[in-house]
Chains A and B, each alone.
Chain A
């Protein structure tokens, strides 16, 4: 076995680590390349992120430089670390809190107008890579908001939300984005959808003190009537608890057996190892109901084995459990489920398909019309 190269030797001919792009959207892939290493040397490529709420998250992969002295994370195999195998984006989705952190942390960006900063570094050796200083490092920015996307606080008609408008004259297709029971105003998916050309509003529907369905309808109409939104091209995205108001809007009805009344195309995304919500069973039930009602041609399903509840934008880290503050202000550890690699694959796959579904139904094609 070749011994790891010591820093003192390396400082004479330092390796070069580069990432392309250095500034990207959170759902874009990057390429990580390390060059100018001695051939056949064990090195660790590591990512480090300091979150908005002060915690450190990291991921790392163990590699061996090839005969040219390079490590190409997009092509080479990681033989250990927080991910293994050929994983171009493993340095993001396999991130976990650094040793010594609190239990049950969840990584969520709060400020949309600044990027997530990730430090990508290369270290000598595999086990014990932390003992030495990095041989080289580079800083990468991951953005939820594309340039020109506008963030607008919405506080009219009793609504509490954030509207993200894409750049350009518009008008744009619109989306109402409903998060889950975690409460508060979660903006990152809306910001990302706006970066893909949808005028999207995040809504805090839990602390509004009004009946949820009426409140959500007001929000939907607000988007529909917005001068930069195409009125007959508005959709709803709901996660977890937010799926209920979403289904209600899709049915355009107050009738209990709402699903029979669905008149819009519906995409259901379920993690089959969801330990928080019986999403797979629910999807099956919806499917049967719609089949009996004769409207199941509107239904598409994405079911992901071994994926948990929190299907987030691509490359977001997976955690099987995290702390959660319940409605009566008690702290609990909630099990979300899922195994990291399948869950991460599900996030990447479902996002691509969600965008495609939204584009298909919200962005008209003149070809189709003629």
Chain B
């Protein structure tokens, strides 16, 4: 029969075993990849493959050598090369890159958060760098990475003229709430709000640039739009009305800071700003803030590949107080996440200026600054692949900055600290208890 006389190759194939634990995890959870029963000293390549919803394919790979017991443990062993090197438990995710032949400027963003990201992890014989698609691996497993924990509910919101998506954690509540503002890059993305709800915070991803009202009337939203979103959270039966935070990334930080300081309606427990600035016409609407940046667009610089650098548009930091949010008046804790190689927004300079304003005003005890060398603008949830450049609104190529390894470390560290910051402020967890809980909770992951 065709199965008689199986070759050594087949026996090798059946011998090597591959496991990833957990096989179903949240996007921010670590996994352990284990190859076992290889020959001692066996050279192998571990490969990750992901097919995006938009049809693009991403891959990562690393070279290992099995130890005396025939085992490779990615969390403990050294990658000798590939898309990452060294000891990197999660390298196969954060070093994913578009496969050769892909369009330039791609970015990995999941639109449908109700299904998991499915990553195929495989083991190949030898140290390989290409042609994976044409070979049969020794073993292969499928790993699911979820933005939504079981029981999290996704609810599209259209009342009060809002265009938003609410994610409510499993259980009755009441839960703390969070208003999540993305940047100027495109349609509403939901994945961060989904992940925050998986951590027990009812989160509203708010579309403030292209909501239904703007698409229908051509008019941008006013500042009351943000207050309506806050009130919606306050009045929600499963949300605790006095425990609401706000988180903004990039352009979203501008409106987050404006509302946190000046809104009479919004009483926020705490605020997080990632890659943002306080520089804007403080009395300005969304349209006017965008107009202010547009006016300065001649300060755009270009790389040798014609990628746009926008960090100078808001520089130098003005001295005129009508052009920067007066953070000295802030009454709640503020966390600034700053990437030192941010080529898109002047986050480091803004953070420095905000710190000085708060020191002068006497409220700098409210401020926490996380600053990451060689990280770029797009601080995403942990293990999201870093992109140094990508298409912005399908029209131009923007330079975000950052180096892959340091950027990935920044994402992981910032997320951990953002979650602790949100928990402390939304749950009133006492300072001396906090450290122990952090050790208990995070060490068990």
Residue numbers of A with Cβ under 8 A of B are: 11-14, 16, 18, 20-25, 28, 31, 33, 35-36, 68-70, 72, 115, 117, 119, 121, 133-134, 136-141, 143, 146-148, 167-173, 197, 225, 230-231, 233, 363-367, 369
24 contacts between A and B (CB under 8 A): A13-B428, A16-B423, A18-B200, A18-B441, A23-B24, A23-B25, A33-B440, A33-B441, A35-B441, A70-B437, A70-B440, A72-B440, A117-B150, A119-B151, A133-B172, A146-B23, A147-B143, A148-B142, A169-B137, A169-B139, A171-B13, A230-B14, A363-B15, A367-B40
Task: A72-B440, A138-B170, A139-B170 given; name 15 further pairs at CB < 8 Å.
Answer: A12-B240, A14-B427, A16-B427, A23-B150, A35-B429, A68-B436, A115-B150, A139-B150, A143-B24, A147-B143, A148-B120, A167-B142, A168-B18, A168-B140, A365-B37
User: What residues on A are CB-neighbors of B23 within 8 Å?
Assistant: 25, 146-147
Name B12's contact: one of A35, A167, A366 (CB within 8 Å).
A366
Q: A70-B437, A363-B15 are in contact. Are A148 and B141 (CB under 8 A)?
A: yes
Q: How far is the CA of A244 from the CA of B17 in the complex (A)?
A: 32
Q: How far is the CA of A173 from the CA of B142 in the complex (A)?
A: 19
Asked whether, in the complex, the Cβ of B11 is within 8 Å of the Cβ of A366, the reply is yes
Q: How far is the CA of A21 from the CA of B32 in the complex (A)?
A: 13
Q: How far is the CA of A136 from the CA of B445 in the complex (A)?
A: 21
B157 CB to nearest chain A CB (Å): 22
Asked whether, in the complex, the Cβ of B141 is within 8 Å of the Cβ of A138, the reply is no
User: What residues on B are CB-neighbors of A115 within 8 Å?
Assistant: 150
Q: How far is the CA of A167 from the CA of B139 in the complex (A)?
A: 8
Q: How far is the CA of A11 from the CA of B172 in the complex (A)?
A: 11
Q: Assess whether B298 is interfacial by the CB under 8 Å rule.
A: no
Asked whether, in the complex, the Cβ of B17 is within 8 Å of the Cβ of A169, the reply is no
Closest to A13 in B: B428
B111 CB to nearest chain A CB (Å): 20
Closest to A197 in B: B17
Interface size on B, residues (CB 8 A): 57
Q: A140-B150, A168-B139, A363-B17 are in contact. Are A69 and B444 (CB under 8 A)?
A: no
Asked whether, in the complex, the Cβ of B174 is within 8 Å of the Cβ of A11, the reply is yes
Q: Assess whether B413 is interfacial by the CB under 8 Å rule.
A: no
Name A68's contact: one of B21, B433, B444 (CB within 8 Å).
B433
Name A169's contact: one of B37, B140, B143, B151 (CB within 8 Å).
B140
Q: How far is the CA of A252 from the CA of B407 in the complex (A)?
A: 61
Name A23's contact: one of B3, B22, B37, B174 (CB within 8 Å).
B22
Closest to A231 in B: B3
Q: Assess whether B29 is interfacial by the CB under 8 Å rule.
A: yes
Q: How far is the CA of A33 from the CA of B438 in the complex (A)?
A: 12
Asked whether, in the complex, the Cβ of A147 is within 8 Å of the Cβ of B24, the reply is yes
Asked whether, in the complex, the Cβ of A366 is within 8 Å of the Cβ of B39, the reply is yes
A125 CB to nearest chain B CB (Å): 17
User: What residues on B are CB-neighbors of A225 within 8 Å?
Assistant: 1, 3
Q: A25-B23, A167-B142 are in contact. Are A20 and B445 (CB under 8 A)?
A: yes
User: What residues on A are CB-neighbors of B22 within 8 Å?
Assistant: 21, 23-24, 28
Asked whether, in the complex, the Cβ of A16 is within 8 Å of the Cβ of B11, the reply is no
Name B444's contact: one of A20, A119, A139 (CB within 8 Å).
A20
Q: A24-B22, A33-B441 are in contact. Are A167 and B39 (CB under 8 A)?
A: no
Closest to B39 in A: A366
